[in-house]
Amino acid sequence: MNLEQLTAVAKAMVAPGKGILAADESNATIRSRFDAIGVDNTPDNRRDYRSFMFRTEPAMTDHVSGVILFDETIRQHDADGTPLVQYIKERGAIPGIKVDQGPREMAGFPAERCTDGMDGLRDRLRDYYAHGARFAKWRAVIDVSDTLPTAGAVKANAHMLARYAALCQEENIVPIVEPEVLMDGAHTIERCAEVTEFVLKKTFQELFEMRVQLEGIVLKPNMIVAGKKCPVQPTVAEVAEKTVQCLKHTVPSLVPGIAFLSGGQSDIDATAHLDAMNKIGGNPWPLTFSYGRALQAAAQKAWSGKPENVSAGQAAFAKRARMNSLASLGQWDAGMEAA
Ligand code: 13P
């Protein structure tokens, strides 16, 4: 393991004014996004869509530090034969790769899930490194209710995250450690805070026990929000305060950076929350974005699978990238959205 190299990559992933584009939807997940805009889920449509995002400037040169790819995309070539990974690298961004194989029902734990993907992981990481990946992602999902999660399910997910992270570092790939407490359901913001704090404490305990070097990871947590169906929704300031407080309780200052998932928040909420946290300031780690839906939803809608809409799709993507870049610096305000 080259810890210096890992740390340099991790710091580049959270460089000032930059964040990560999560474009690693599995073929099943991108199907639901394409269904919503009436686009067939074919390899060529997936390629054309991701190709236009990866060629968008100045989004990719100025606001995006790295892109999380799906297995198909890291091997995919554009119509003219250019590898899609080349577009990312040419614009100074770092290719990354999703290596988990999705959450599955957990034996013995009804209604809870644990993430698959450890089989053959060392060999897959070596192959991905050869294809240009310098960071990876593994997402664990934690469902919330009055009685869930159980300590057992949290422990299993945290352990998998830590084993994955150790293997990544052995192969000189920075692990994005992503324990996502879901915002599905009707739980309150207080319940989200309680569960997230427990999950992050367990995750860092496992990272420590599995000898993961914290200087060479990026944490990708959820923000502290209320469940989507909760009748009482918090203000932007409350989300920002509770999220920063939770992270300060749980995340060692040695971690080079924190890049949030958007998790089903609206585009503007995801931007406003990130901005408010950065306006609080004084945090020991940079706080930035690693958004999927909140960076791409507007671009997908503007494109809608039509070649003549590519520049509209690129403009929509560029706008969200710029708004989130400003938010990562605490320099966004709602008035900029109209411009
Ligand atoms: P969302 O921002 O859409 O939650 O996606 C981020 C991600 O990578 C989820 O694993």
Domains of the chain, first to last: 3-338 (3.20.20.70)
Residues 6+ apart with CB under 8 A from 173: 125, 128, 129, 133, 134, 135, 136
Q: Is 285 in the pocket of ligand 1 (CB under 6 A)?
A: no
Q: Is 139 in the pocket of ligand 1 (CB under 6 A)?
A: yes
| Per-residue pLDDT, 307 | 97
In this prediction, the residues of the chain whose per-residue pLDDT falls under 50 are none
Q: How far apart are CA 61 and CA 43, in angstroms?
A: 26
Nearest-atom number in ligand 1 for the CA of 22 is 8
| Cα–ligand 1 centroid distance for 99 (angstroms) | 14
| Per-residue pLDDT, 339 | 75
| Cα–ligand 1 centroid distance for 293 (angstroms) | 6
Q: Is 261 in the pocket of ligand 1 (CB under 6 A)?
A: yes
| Cα–ligand 1 centroid distance for 179 (angstroms) | 11
| Per-residue pLDDT, 77 | 98
The residues that bridge with 177 in the sheet, in sequence order, are 138, 219
The catalytic residue among 18, 98, 202, 220 is 220
Q: How far apart are the first and last CA of the chain?
A: 46
Nearest-atom number in ligand 1 for the CA of 263 is 4
Give the HSE-up count for residue 193: Cα atoms under 13 Å, Cβ half-sphere.
16
- Residue whose Cα lies nearest atom 9 of ligand 1: it is 261
Cβ atoms of residues 93 and 55 within 8 Å: no
Nearest-atom number in ligand 1 for the CA of 296 is 3
| Cα–ligand 1 centroid distance for 216 (angstroms) | 21
Q: How far apart are CA 17 and CA 250, in angstroms?
A: 24
pTM of this prediction exceeds 0.75: yes
- Residue whose Cα lies nearest atom 5 of ligand 1: it is 292
The catalytic residue among 25, 178, 197, 206 is 178
Quick check: is 171 catalytic?
no
| Per-residue pLDDT, 327 | 98
- Residue whose Cα lies nearest atom 8 of ligand 1: it is 22
- Residue whose Cα lies nearest atom 4 of ligand 1: it is 263
| Per-residue pLDDT, 115 | 98
Quick check: is 220 catalytic?
yes
For 238, the token pair is 């409350």
